[in-house]
Structure 1
Amino acid sequence: MNLQLVRLLHLASPALPVGAFSYSQGLEWAVESGAVTSEAAAQRWIRDALHLALARCEAPALIGLLRAWKAGNACEVARLNAEFIATRETSELRAETLQMGYSLARLLRDLPDTPEATKTALLELREIAFPTPWATAAAHWQIEELDAANAYLWAWLENQVMAAVKLVPLGQTAGQRMLVALAEDLPALALEAVRRADTEDWENFTPGMTLASSQHETQYTRLFRS
């Protein structure tokens, strides 16, 4: 169990070389437009995205992919991977998941303990969404579904809070306050993600986040890639 925890921390680490730190998922435009100008506003924005996008779409997709990898069902992996890519509403959000997915898949192919069958399955996917290789690693390292969902949500949350700290800007203590407050939501959201995965009840209706991402594509000055 201790090794599984270490592997999970590895997957959720900001040091994972996939470039997650370079994306704001529309938060940069929200700051530029004046919609997010304070710690409270940043916390509301991130909480909304966490509840309405991550817990209802991305995390359920992750759990579905985790189950498919554990079952050795490459066809189901390919189907869920394609469906998730189709949920990315803007060019930046699509490019983000594909770049991070490619980077993580390449890393897993280079690691000595990744099974050859997994390497082959990853190579057969022409485009790879980020949750797909993440779920691959979680399956190989025998991570439980709830633990995987909590860690995936935490990794996303940490990146978003750090983006807010740079953009608003906020102090490091403000960022830690947001992490403490928003982390309390994660256990219930992880449970929701597992429940939605049971019935493939995915939702990705986040027009505000989509609009922000669309506007960010033509934003004049940018620190982040989305």
Structure 2
Amino acid sequence: MLPLVRLLQLASPALPVGAYTYSQGLEWAVESGAVRDEAGAGRWIGDLLEWSLARFEAPLLAELMRAWDEGDGDDASVAALNADFLASRETDELRAETVQMGYSLVRLLADLDAFAGLAGWRARLLALDEAAFPAAWAAAAAAWAIPVDMALPAYLWAWLENQVMAAVKAVPLGQSAGQRLLSTLGARLPALAALGARLPADQWSNFTPGLALASSRHETQYTRLFRS
């Protein structure tokens, strides 16, 4: 059961990486009127799950876990995948978000006895230049022997939970509405995680121009609760 316990720790909103300070463009979507209510928030978040997370971030995370699990011999693949993810961030805000969260997670893992005590893992992680959040998260999941088919839905759930809580604050929505969104969108996660686990690299795609525009416009939004 220990890998499950470690997975719950990684997916917990208590993980001190600052995820709660980001909305990934959702705050601007609310400001612009594109998202006005529970239904609109569900469409926005669900589309990002379907067309970005499941088709790019999830398969990249799975491949990162496999590369970390191969040992020192595949650290070049880890670095290349990390660079690919950084290059996929289309705005300053989105890139700064993943770099800040990755930095915070690396520092946390380096200090945790449960991670730092594993032979070689701390040094490998610290050697990764400008770690994106998925790269650091995948390192922990691989080091703690969490199976990919468990890690992917947990990673998607953590992202979903953060987006729903951002909607609860920004729209705003009530707590019951937030739970309805988590229930409805959460039911899609097993299929989306399975898609991400099997999607070949030549079919990865994060073509979500609405997200890029929302994030770009959020950078100059006059009043903001969130950093992205």
In structure 2, the residue matched to 1:92 is 93
Preserved contact between residue 98 and residue 128 of structure 1 (Cα < 8 Å): yes
For 1:225, the aligned partner's letter is R
The correspondence for 1:207, drawn from 199, 209, 213, is: 209
- What is the CA-CA distance between 1:200 and the residue it aligns to? 5.0
TM-score when normalising by structure 2: 0.96
Deviations 1:187-224 (A, max 9, x none): 0000110111x445320100001100000000000000
Indicate the SS of the match to 1:219: coil
Deviations 1:121-166 (A, max 9, x none): 2222221100011001111111111110000000000000000000
In structure 1, the residue matched to 2:125 is 122
In structure 2, the residue matched to 1:178 is 181
Let me know the Cα RMSD of the aligned residues.
1.0
List 4+ stretches of structure 1 deviating above 3 A: none
1:137 partnered with 2:140: yes
For 1:136, the aligned partner's letter is A
Q: Distance in 2 between matches of 1:192 and 1:149?
A: 10
For 2:93, the aligned partner's letter is E
In structure 2, the residue matched to 1:55 is 54
- What is the CA-CA distance between 1:116 and the residue it aligns to? 4.6
Preserved contact between residue 11 and residue 134 of structure 1 (Cα < 8 Å): yes
Identical pairs, percent: 65
- What is the CA-CA distance between 1:118 and the residue it aligns to? 1.8
Q: Distance in 2 between matches of 1:207 and 1:76?
A: 28
1:31 partnered with 2:27: no
Q: Distance in 1 between matches of 2:219 and 2:119?
A: 38
- What is the CA-CA distance between 1:4 and the residue it aligns to? 1.4
Preserved contact between residue 60 and residue 200 of structure 1 (Cα < 8 Å): no
Deviations 1:55-86 (A, max 9, x none): 01111111010000111121111111111111
1:200–1:119 CA distance, 2 compared to 1 (3 A) = farther
1:40 partnered with 2:39: yes
Q: Distance in 2 between matches of 1:174 and 1:79?
A: 40
For 2:158, the aligned partner's letter is A
Indicate the SS of the match to 1:113: helix
In structure 1, the residue matched to 2:68 is 69
1:220 partnered with 2:219: no
Q: Distance in 2 between matches of 1:194 and 1:16?
A: 24
Preserved contact between residue 150 and residue 190 of structure 1 (Cα < 8 Å): yes
**What residue ranges of structure 2 are gaps of 5+ in the alignment?**
none
- What is the CA-CA distance between 1:97 and the residue it aligns to? 0.4
Mean alpha-carbon deviation: is it higher for 198-207 or for 92-101?
A: 198-207
In structure 2, the residue matched to 1:150 is 153
> After the TM superposition, which residues 107-118 of structure 1 pair with which residues of structure 2 at under 5 Å, given as runs?
107-114=108-115, 115-118=118-121
1:83 partnered with 2:81: no
In structure 2, the residue matched to 1:192 is 195
Preserved contact between residue 63 and residue 194 of structure 1 (Cα < 8 Å): yes
TM-score when normalising by structure 1: 0.97
